[in-house]
Amino acid sequence: MAAPATFERALAPASAARPELAQNALHSLRPGGGGAAGLLLALRYIQARFVSVWGLLIAALLCPPEIFTEFAIYSALANFLAIAALLRFEAVFFHNSDPDRLGRAFRLSLVAGAGFLGLAALAAFAASMLGLVMAGYAALFVLSLAGRAAIRLATAEATAEGDFRAIGNSGLVQAVVQPGAMLGLILPFGPSSLALFAADAIGHAVAACYLGWRRRFAFQQLAFRAEWSRWELRRSARQWSAAPRLLLPSVLLSFGFSVAPLFALTFASDPIFAAHVALAMRLLDMPTQMFGAVTQPLVMSSMRSRQGPARRRWARILTAGLVFVAFVLFAGVAGFALILDPWLEETQWHGIGAVLAVLTLFYAGIALVSPLNEIGTLSRDPHHAMITNAVATVAIVAVIAWFGALSPALLCAVGAMSLLRMSAHACLAWTGFGGGSTPGTLPRGSRI
């Protein structure tokens, strides 16, 4: 599977890290600057994607199609576990603005992440000792998982702080390093899944190191605001128990829905068609993540600064705007794919344009649910989003199992289900803010 894996940040102009940023932890972006910041973030992130997409296309030419299926499964598993690594305690950054509480949340996230990665390393070591996976694959997986978890924590802190420059530069670093590492491994050693796995691990590790260095002063301030103690960690875990209890299951179920088509690849009788689907998923993952990376920071920052009727009105405006932009974006992608397909007639990738066009239905829904799901964490009752994701995930697995074979009809069916799930989340965002919650709390007994 081709190389540049998930790039979760956007490109922005460089600037030196400033220690004073740490003194104002979790200040949201001012509404007046949101439009300019969003436009800059979108333009820079598109630039980073143009850098990364060439590595993916070159890998498609150099690698056999079967490798794409292997890497798709590897990347999906790594991304899934990275979401769980911090137990969603990083979501506390968007509910609390007090520096002391933010420091507690940061320390709790570090401990949760370290413990999770330790267990993952033990599991990988046991799997390699039992001969289930090669030791090299296991080590690369743990390194990639650690990089993803570190990026997730650092990105959440930088987003809450409004430091889009750090987020953007780390995206550029990964967009350059990961495809470069992939080509540097494929050209001398030949195409293999190991080369793609190694490039993925290197790209995430380097990006995490850069982002950590850039935010080092803020991290020092948060980590050492008070002495570490088991009493404080237990108290924080109890106070914010809603994060692993409600928010984590919801986002894991949402991710499970987004990668459900990978389950259908196991039913493929035509390996070329399966490779087309796998590559199409990787290609469509780019605009999907671009949409999320641009919209989520701005959405969460602007929602934090409002409450009551103002929050409800703003949630509706955001929902309508997100739906419009997403459909315009993916309609353009579908049209471009259909135009491009005839140019691939003499290659092994002929027909992928039609696959891309059909899958845009699925990924348009995925892209929209990403920011809508985050909006739901601030609503009166986040249980609804979790239930919606659970029902949708069970339903899509049942539909895939009922079809029993990978086919264009199945792709149309999962696309329709994705749009239905998106509609449900849009309704929740439209109606879920009745003014009962305030910034910094999760209502109805939740403890964030």
The residue ranges of every structural domain in the chain are 1-240, 241-448
Mean pLDDT of 99-108: 87
pLDDT digits (tens, 9 = 90+) for 296-352: 777 776 776 666 677 778 888 888 889 999 999 999 988 888 887 777 776 667 778
Measured CA angle at 270 (ends 52, 392), to 5 deg: 70
- C-alpha to C-alpha distance for 410 and 6, rounded to whole angstroms: 25
Most confident of 140-154, 156-170, 338-352, 361-375: 140-154
Most confident of 131-140, 143-152, 219-228, 375-384: 143-152
Contact of 377 with 247, CB cutoff 8 Å: yes
CA end-to-end span of the chain: 39
Return the higher-pLDDT residue of 82 and 52: 82
Phi, psi (rounded to 5 degrees) for 161? -75, -20
- C-alpha to C-alpha distance for 323 and 298, rounded to whole angstroms: 15
Nearest Cα to Cα of residue 196 among 80, 69, 283: 69
Nearest Cα to Cα of residue 223 among 16, 29, 232: 232
Do you know the residue count of the chain? 448
Return the higher-pLDDT residue of 297 and 255: 255
DSSP symbol at 347: S
pLDDT digits (tens, 9 = 90+) for 196-245: 889 999 999 999 999 999 999 989 888 887 778 889 899 989 988 888 88
pTM of the model: 0.74
Sign of CA dihedral 276, 278, 281, 282: negative
